[in-house]
Structure 1
Amino acid sequence: MIIVTGGAGFIGSNLIRTLNGRGEKNILLVDHLANGRKMHNIADLDIADYMDKAHFLEKTASPNFLNGIQAVFHQGACSATTEWDGQYVMMNNYDYSKRLLQCCAEKNIPFIYASSASVYGTGEHGFRVDRSCEHPINMYAYSKFQFDQYVRQVLPEIKSTIVGLRYFNVYGPNEQHKGSMSSTAFHFNRQIIEHKKAKLFAGCDGYADGEQKRDFVYVDDVVDVNLWFMDNPGQRGIYNVGTGKAETFNTMAQAVIAWHQEGSIEYIPFPEHLQGAYQSYTQADISGLRQAGYSKDFLNVKQGIPKYLDHLNSKK
């Protein structure tokens, strides 16, 4: 059996869908469906069982609970970068992850978990997997950073596969439940449909209007990296998952407009509440991923957006 936590979420549901495509149905989906709309992400998936995350965490205390598990993909977390209840975030993103890692290590189960590029903060020191580059600027980022630090601490003592994947700006199907945390691609698509205008932030941090840059990575590529580490056991460490090439928000908006064959860009004032807590530039250093042996190319925005919008707008 394979366990996917956060299995009803954005990346988790896409991961299960791809596993189903491989013929794998013996999957335990762990999630917390307080937001019942997430069921739309999993209604067409085949799984062996579902378990609420609280019940799952209780069950990990049972000596035989994880017997026979092939791998654990730990995708579940509070992913809101605007959440400032530190106790809540650390309990969900740090304590929970520590407990699950310890259980997997005891039974030699591969543990592949979601970290985040948010650990790099403003990115002024670069985007290498290196302590000198890491300076989280919100509570979510800190929780991810601190768990990475814990992994680094225990890694020498653990012989099983432990892989942390620092996702950059992921976009693609099944993110609609995330609301304001959904990708710019999702929001631009909705804005073009409703108002014929994609709204981008005006210039900030020395960037011209809409010229802030992010490393936008398509969810299928993220899933492929996860499964590659399952298929290539013995890997241990933390890796960036992005295309390795930053692209502007203007490029993203123009790709959405090109798909719709209509629309324009409107620049809006940069939000006051995001000042000092916003990444105006991200670009993954994926040298570690390449050195580990992952060699596939990543889709760029012009390749990924048509694929995404074909799917997204076919459901309307």
Structure 2
Amino acid sequence: MKHILITGGAGFIGSNLTEYFLNKGYKVTCLDNFATGHRHNVEPFFKNENYTLIEGDIRNLETCQKAAENVDYILHEAALGSVPRSINDPITSNDVNVSGFLNMLVAARDAGVKRFVYAASSSTYGDSESLPKVEDIIGKPLSPYAVTKYVNELYADVFSKTYGIECIGLRYFNVFGRRQDPNGAYAAVIPLFVKQFMNHESPKINGTGDYSRDFTYIDNVIQMNELAMLTEISEAVNTVYNTAVGDRTTLNDLIKYLKKYLSDFDAEIAKVEVIHGPNRVGDIPHSLASIEKAKSLLGYQPSHTIDKGIKEAVSWYWENLK
């Protein structure tokens, strides 16, 4: 039985990874300090004898080393996300995303972990205007958060070359789906809009709504983590991959998708108007990933388009937010 450590395992992506790998028969340890994760995300796993929860902070090296003991793979999801959060509080974002990341790399090295797969970010592309985004062409970061995620990639590269640790970074593009938190000051756009529509409140779009994103459903992210964790192709290791669908959707089109599927549950939602505000500091106008590298080296084939993903996500939120 292989043993996986999932940091940030009580969060949106981490808890979905935990559920998936427990169902596949893996032993899973979750490390989380519940700063942004939620206990209700992991409570269903407590009755599984293959599940262990360690409540702790990746900013503590001893905690990281304890969590990494006897582990085969680490899926490192723990981080403080959100560009606005990092602009408001760059110190804490750096402490968690850089110092915490380094602690986990050291713990992985000391424990002899087979592979370290980590959540990188599309924010690393910064001010690069080229589309689609290709892994080896990046620009300058546009936020403290983007700086921290790029530093992660640099540290992983150095550790792979210096200590022989197998590292793979997954540059997530606007991930959404079940368990993504619609509450709080830094809620992601899709769950926030869903919550507002369900309450017949008008969502606020930053700008005209013409900005576009490569919205990526959680099941595609799970697939990429599994492929990265298990690949035995040598040239597929010690690199980074876009983790996306390879298609872009404007915020205006996103609103149409949400209204379409939410109206199946409540016809009044179709009548809710949208408010437009100023563009957000640190935002890039457009984001679109090339997924050719992941297809070629990992055999990645996204299972969910934006349409299919939104339909499933809306159904989950309707069941769980009501």
TM range (shorter): 0.7 to 0.9
CA contact 2:124–2:139 (8 Å) conserved in 1: yes
CA contact 1:185–1:253 (8 Å) conserved in 2: no
Residue in structure 2 matching 1:249, options 251, 256, 277: 251
Q: Which residue of the partner structure matches residue 206 of structure 1?
A: none
Q: CA deviation at 1:184?
A: 2.3
Amino acid at match of 2:55: M
Amino acid at match of 2:33: H
1:88 aligns with 2:92: yes
Amino acid at match of 1:29: C
Deviations 1:263-303 (A, max 9, x none): 2464434336x24x112210112222122122323412211
SS in 2 for 1:311: helix
CA contact 2:221–2:243 (8 Å) conserved in 1: yes
- Which stretch has the larger CA shift, 80-89 or 239-248? 80-89
Q: In 1, Cα distance between the equivalents of 2:192 and 2:59?
A: 34
- Which stretch has the larger CA shift, 50-59 or 216-225? 50-59
Q: In 1, Cα distance between the equivalents of 2:305 and 2:188?
A: 15
1:258 aligns with 2:265: no
Q: CA deviation at 1:94?
A: 0.8
Q: In 2, Cα distance between the equivalents of 1:267 and 1:122?
A: 28
- Which stretch has the larger CA shift, 108-117 or 97-106? 97-106
Q: In 2, Cα distance between the equivalents of 1:178 and 1:223?
A: 23
CA contact 2:9–2:15 (8 Å) conserved in 1: yes
Q: In 1, Cα distance between the equivalents of 2:23 and 2:160?
A: 32
Q: In 2, Cα distance between the equivalents of 1:20 and 1:232?
A: 19
TM normalised by structure 2 equals: 0.85
Q: Compared with structure 1, are the counterparts of its residues 267 and 122 closer, same or farther at alpha carbon in structure 2 (3 Å cutoff)?
A: farther
Q: In 2, Cα distance between the equivalents of 1:49 and 1:200?
A: 38
1:301 aligns with 2:306: yes
Q: Percent of aligned pairs with the same residue?
A: 24
Q: Which residue of the partner structure matches residue 52 of structure 1?
A: 56
CA contact 2:9–2:30 (8 Å) conserved in 1: yes
CA contact 1:128–1:284 (8 Å) conserved in 2: yes
CA contact 2:58–2:64 (8 Å) conserved in 1: no
Q: Which residue of the partner structure matches residue 207 of structure 1?
A: none
Q: How many residues align?
A: 303
Q: Which residue of the partner structure matches residue 41 of structure 1?
A: 41
Amino acid at match of 2:311: P
In the TM superposition, 1:122-133 aligns within 5 A as 122-126=127-131, 127-130=133-136, 132-133=137-138
In the TM superposition, 1:192-271 aligns within 5 A as 192-195=197-200, 197-203=202-208, 210-233=209-232, 234=234, 235-261=237-263, 262=267, 263-264=270-271, 266-271=273-278
In the TM superposition, 1:161-172 aligns within 5 A as 161-172=166-177
Amino acid at match of 1:159: G
Alignment RMSD (CA, Å) = 2.3
Residue in structure 1 matching 2:194, options 189, 195, 204: 189
Q: Which residue of the partner structure matches residue 30 of structure 1?
A: 31
Q: In 1, Cα distance between the equivalents of 2:140 and 2:25?
A: 41
Q: Compared with structure 1, are the counterparts of its residues 54 and 60 closer, same or farther at alpha carbon in structure 2 (3 Å cutoff)?
A: closer
Deviations 1:8-52 (A, max 9, x none): 11100000011122123x2211011246x7112111124223231
Q: CA deviation at 1:176?
A: 1.2
Q: In 2, Cα distance between the equivalents of 1:215 and 1:152?
A: 26
CA contact 1:170–1:183 (8 Å) conserved in 2: no
1:103 aligns with 2:107: yes
- Which stretch has the larger CA shift, 251-260 or 151-160? 151-160
SS in 1 for 2:44: coil
Q: Which residue of the partner structure matches residue 20 of structure 1?
A: 22
- Which stretch has the larger CA shift, 4-13 or 53-62? 53-62
Q: CA deviation at 1:158?
A: 4.1
Q: CA deviation at 1:95?
A: 1.5
Show structure 1 runs of 4+ deviating over 4 A: none
Q: CA deviation at 1:177?
A: 6.0
Q: Compared with structure 1, are the counterparts of its residues 136 and 306 closer, same or farther at alpha carbon in structure 2 (3 Å cutoff)?
A: same
SS in 2 for 1:195: coil
1:153 aligns with 2:158: yes
Deviations 1:110-143 (A, max 9, x none): 100011111112441442222x423211111110
CA contact 2:211–2:286 (8 Å) conserved in 1: yes
Q: Compared with structure 1, are the counterparts of its residues 22 and 197 closer, same or farther at alpha carbon in structure 2 (3 Å cutoff)?
A: same
Q: Compared with structure 1, are the counterparts of its residues 59 and 31 closer, same or farther at alpha carbon in structure 2 (3 Å cutoff)?
A: closer
